[in-house]
Structure 1
Amino acid sequence: MSYKKVVILGGGIAGVEAAIYYRKEGFDVELISERSYLFIYPIAIWIPVKTAHFDDVSFSLDKIAARHNFTLTIDRVVSINASEKTITLQEGGVRKASHLVIATGAAKVKHEGLEHTLSICGAPEQSVELKKKIDALIAKGFGKIAFGFGGNPNDPSGVRGGPGFELFFNLHHKLKKLGIRNNYEMTFFAPMISPGARMGEKALKLMATMFKKNNFKERYGKKIKRFEENSIIFEDDSVLESDLTMFIPAGNGMDLIKESDLQKNGAGFIRINNYCEIEGVEHWYAIGDVAALEGPDWKAKQGHIAEVMARNAAHNSAITLRLKSGEKKTYQDHINILCMMDMGNGAGFVYRDDKKALLIPMPIIGHWMKIGWGWYYKMSKMGYIPRIPGM
């Protein structure tokens, strides 16, 4: 196999970006994905509250592949062998992979009773199940709602709390519009004493003010012991009753990666250097949630970082193979936290880097900006509109 042929594993945000940019660098690209569509997780928060449909959030990989002229293979990767530079597919069998990009994402930390929860960051189908549960709870007319997220002490960068807060705020907005918000007890829970601390001190203060103003309850600083059908049990055996539990487990290494001979950190994420090159395996790269990130303590795995890593991998591959001249690009220089935290009737612009931490309230317009971003994401991926630098 020629090194100019690259195989990309994973049809998510990182994998799709890699496929597009490797094509721009002149590579022959094959993208292997278990799903036939790209699920745009940042805007999936609107499916459960019925301000977006599943089809609005899923985007055909066939269309993207045709637009950018890369090969799409729908199959499941069952094993990876770095020493032999092979991958094994469920349907396609053993394949040589001289030049490989791993963008398969992360698994989730397993909690006892997790089947009693639903996640907005889990399997795409769970967003529809959440919608059904919310509809049933609204039909009931009252109830207790508990949203939360967990941690991973082996790699805190895999914590993903933002979408949990966004859906929490959007559900509050929906119930308020229906005039029934006071019929529901809404509680947010997390094992950290200050969830959201990585956003910065100002953001924490604004969040605390928002929680108090909207009569949200908190259950922070207690590890989760287990989930039950209508409750969460914490390490001190205290109980939080819930008719609807939305929980985002922290990211953890996939069994596919843990069972491989790739170098991994304590959580099972692939060790890479600053150029996204996998340690000890020439011409193999790892990007996005599957990779072990290095950087400041507040670092977080986000879609825009995954895209930076994807573009850098393509660029660095071209440099390594002398398809073009220049310097390799690093991902750590681009680590920051960036999101538009939607609330249904507005949003908060969140940004953090080594020099500053911001949370800027943006009533009304912030919500429409996030809707606009969803449209922009699809159109720019298809090359119908120019890409805005940094977005």
Structure 2
Amino acid sequence: MTGPARITILGAGFGALSCVRELRRRDARAQITVVAPRAELHYLPSIIWIPGGLRRREDLIVPLAPFFERMRVRHVAAEVTGLDDGGRTVHTTGGAVENDALVIATGGRFIKKLPGIEHAITPCEGIAAAEQIRDRLRAMQGGTIAVGFAANPQEQQAVRGGPMFEFLFGIDAQLRREGRRERFELVFFNPSREPGARLGAKTVQGLLAEMARRGITTHLGHKMVRLEAGKVVTEGGEIRADLILFMPGMTGNAWFDATTLPRSPGGLVRADAQCRVEGWQHCYVVGDSGSFPGPDWAPKQAHMADLHARAAAQNLLDGLAGRPQQAGFVPELACIIDTGTHGTLVLRNPQRTLVLPPLRLMHWAKRAFERRYLRQYR
């Protein structure tokens, strides 16, 4: 290419912002445009601490205008509505944006097809959902709280189950702290007999043992039928519930349907091992938007999105320069399952799985990581 490359990044989440940093590190001249409704990063991993008061909304929203200014990024405050010209034209609610290379990092969308799902709170939909949980818990004098999650039946990787364990254990710890746990029954439900299997068999055993230790009832291995006001209905029976927290599986963004992007069976954008959109030149996908080759335990989490972003940024610049695109990523699951006071560290890659027992140190490590991660954008 002659002249600076015009690069458009769709989204303002973990993968998108990591892509901005990596591109700018490698190319000081590139003209980078970010298309996202707001110039804000919502740090969703820490919404687990909102119900117990450890975090507030203002703690987890980072204005990105200063970061964009430092990175010399143009922000288009709009929503994506479609693509044309093989990705070279992005249609948005604010007009068309032209590019030489495109990165899709708009995250995923929760599948809301289960009958009666409006009776549940879906925690990872954002900060407002966590605040709703906080307010409902404050108003409850007692009762049954049912917590569960499910996967995309067409793409088992498209699931976010880890935070549901954290909400479950966090609520248990909060009620104990408040001296009212004996007035509540906690029930964990999941269609699988081994919920969280992507974390490894040892982790699943540890999570179920921790539930037993805390007096949390389990309802496992039964396909979900519907939700009702005050009830979870499965093929294996019903769970009476005064509060239902449920995380359905994930699929692609609604705007994908207005494009000819290649889709996986689960509705995500099909990508190769270099994060290239299959069959589309100079188009890349990172994070929850994409369906990538790899093991069935490969996670949908911020850490994985960061790894995608590094590979995509290098391949994008190499591709525009006519160089071979060889950068890949190693699937890696890295998380701390937090209870509000302790944390279980889980690390998994193709070579090994490491699980540490719940430690107070890991809770503080998770808080320290939050501070360090957000510092680069503040």
Q: Deviations over 1:235-279 (max 9, x none)?
A: 35x211111111111111222113310111111111111111111
The DSSP-based 3-state class of the residue aligned with 1:265 is coil
The DSSP-based 3-state class of the residue aligned with 1:367 is helix
The yes-or-no answer on 1:50 pairing with 2:53 is yes
| Other-structure match for 1:104 | 106
The yes-or-no answer on 1:193 pairing with 2:196 is no
| Other-structure match for 1:18 | 19
TM-score under structure 1 normalisation? 0.91
Measured after TM superposition, the shift of residue 164 of structure 1 is 0.5
User: Which shifted more, 58-67 or 184-193?
Assistant: 58-67
- Identify which of 39, 42, 50 aligns with 1:39: 42
The yes-or-no answer on 1:243 pairing with 2:242 is yes
Q: Deviations over 1:29-59 (max 9, x none)?
A: 1111123311111111111221100111111
| Other-structure match for 1:298 | 297
Q: In the aligned structure 2, how far is the partner of 1:227 from the partner of 1:63?
A: 44
Q: In the aligned structure 1, how far is the partner of 2:218 from the partner of 2:292?
A: 30
Q: In the aligned structure 2, how far is the partner of 1:243 from the partner of 1:355?
A: 43
- Identify which of 316, 330, 339 aligns with 2:328: 330
Mapped contact 2:87–2:283 kept (Cα < 8 A): no
| Other-structure match for 2:8 | 7
| Other-structure match for 1:389 | none
| Other-structure match for 2:337 | 341
Mapped contact 1:203–1:358 kept (Cα < 8 A): no
| Unpaired stretches in structure 2, ≥5 consecutive residues | none
**Match for 1:99: what amino acid?**
A
| Unpaired stretches in structure 1, ≥5 consecutive residues | 383-391
The DSSP-based 3-state class of the residue aligned with 1:78 is strand
TM-score under structure 2 normalisation? 0.94
Q: Deviations over 1:200-254 (max 9, x none)?
A: 1211221222111110111111121111121111135x21111111111111122
Mapped contact 1:316–1:329 kept (Cα < 8 A): yes
Q: In the aligned structure 1, how far is the partner of 2:315 from the partner of 2:277?
A: 12
Measured after TM superposition, the shift of residue 151 of structure 1 is 1.2
Mapped contact 1:150–1:191 kept (Cα < 8 A): yes
Q: In the aligned structure 1, how far is the partner of 2:38 from the partner of 2:220?
A: 36
The DSSP-based 3-state class of the residue aligned with 2:107 is coil
**Match for 2:14: what amino acid?**
I
Measured after TM superposition, the shift of residue 306 of structure 1 is 0.5
Mapped contact 1:82–1:281 kept (Cα < 8 A): no
The yes-or-no answer on 1:118 pairing with 2:116 is no
**Match for 1:341: what amino acid?**
I
**Match for 2:327: what amino acid?**
K
| Other-structure match for 2:228 | 228
Measured after TM superposition, the shift of residue 3 of structure 1 is 6.9
Q: In the aligned structure 1, how far is the partner of 2:301 from the partner of 2:127?
A: 17
User: What aligned pairs does 1:56-71 form with structure 2 within 5 A after superposition?
Assistant: 56-71=59-74
Q: In the aligned structure 2, how far is the partner of 1:259 from the partner of 1:320?
A: 26
Q: In the aligned structure 2, how far is the partner of 1:215 from the partner of 1:117?
A: 23
Measured after TM superposition, the shift of residue 327 of structure 1 is 6.4
RMSD: 1.8
Measured after TM superposition, the shift of residue 355 of structure 1 is 2.4
Task: Give the count of matched residue pairs.
Answer: 374
The DSSP-based 3-state class of the residue aligned with 2:227 is strand
Q: Deviations over 1:36-87 (max 9, x none)?
A: 3111111111112211001111111213212322112211111223536322
**Match for 2:365: what amino acid?**
M
User: What aligned pairs does 1:1-391 form with structure 2 within 5 A after superposition?
Assistant: 4-26=5-27, 27-81=30-84, 83=86, 85-90=88-93, 92-110=94-112, 111-137=114-140, 140=141, 142-236=142-236, 238-322=237-321, 328-331=326-329, 334-382=330-378
The DSSP-based 3-state class of the residue aligned with 2:367 is helix
Measured after TM superposition, the shift of residue 378 of structure 1 is 0.8
**Match for 2:173: what amino acid?**
H
Measured after TM superposition, the shift of residue 295 of structure 1 is 0.7
The DSSP-based 3-state class of the residue aligned with 1:158 is coil
Measured after TM superposition, the shift of residue 94 of structure 1 is 2.7
